[in-house]
Amino acid sequence: MWNTAANHLIKQGNTWYVKVAFPADVQPAFDDNRAFTKTLKTSDKADAIARCGRWIAKFKTEIAEARGKQLRQRCG
């Protein structure tokens, strides 16, 4: 989890954000955006790592749901 969490963290100024990229096949479902980005409202990296797990899970769930919706639409 720690390694995965750190791969999704970005720092802008003094604030940490979590960012999960959309795979190309689901970008249209998200208005052609390229990623989910959420502020973690902290300047401390350890706090950011502790906070980002739930957002990564939420974003990945939304991506999986978008793929499922696309599949259902294709299969009728």
- pLDDT given at position 76: 61
- pLDDT given at position 3: 60
Amino acid, res. 14: N
CA-based nearest residue to 22, from 6, 35, 7: 35
Residues in contact with 2: Cβ distance below 8 Å, sequence separation at least 6, in sequence order: 49
- pLDDT given at position 72: 74
- pLDDT given at position 47: 96
Q: What is the mean pLDDT of each run of 10 residues along the chain (76 residues)?
A: 77 97 92 95 95 94 90 71
